[in-house]
């Protein structure tokens, strides 16, 4: 059973930074892509970033240039470094993993989800 456990959320002022971590277990971590989604109150889940098993990365336009996704296969962990945070980045952030394949912008494509971690950006 794949398990994903996020950490690192919190309250930060606008233009500040946070780093989210996601520890994965239950299968060989390095063989699979990983991703991050977020969901703000009253809104649908939104794709944030993904990283392939080879290290290829992809970002939504809303975070490109400010967020960086990375992975440490030795630690079975994926990270999301968030810089220049804006109040509109406020959301619950979820770590996700697929059954197989590269990545998708659609939340239903991702099989495994963490419990989420709250990020709140004050103005």
Q: pLDDT tens for the chain, 123 residues: list them.
A: 899 999 999 999 999 999 999 999 999 898 999 999 999 999 999 999 999 998 899 999 999 999 999 999 999 999 999 999 999 999 999 999 999 888 899 999 999 999 999 999 999
Maximum C-alpha span of the chain: 41
C-alpha distances (whole Å) from 115 to each of 22, 36, 81, 86, 102 are: 10, 12, 19, 23, 22
């Amino acid at each position: 059973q794949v398990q994903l456990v996020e950490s690192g959320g919190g309250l930060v002022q606008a233009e500040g930074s946070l780093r989210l971590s996601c520890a994965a277990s239950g299968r060989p971590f390095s063989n699979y892509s990983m991703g991050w989604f977020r969901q703000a109150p009253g809104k649908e889940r939104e794709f944030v970033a993904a990283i392939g098993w080879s290290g290829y990365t992809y970002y939504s336009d809303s975070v490109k240039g400010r967020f960086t996704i990375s992975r440490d296969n030795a630690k079975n962990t994926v990270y999301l470094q968030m810089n220049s945070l804006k109040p509109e980045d406020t959301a619950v952030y979820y770590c996700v993993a697929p059954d197989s394949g590269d990545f998708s912008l659609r939340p239903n494509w991702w099989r495994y989800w963490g419990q989420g971690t709250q990020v709140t950006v004050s103005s």
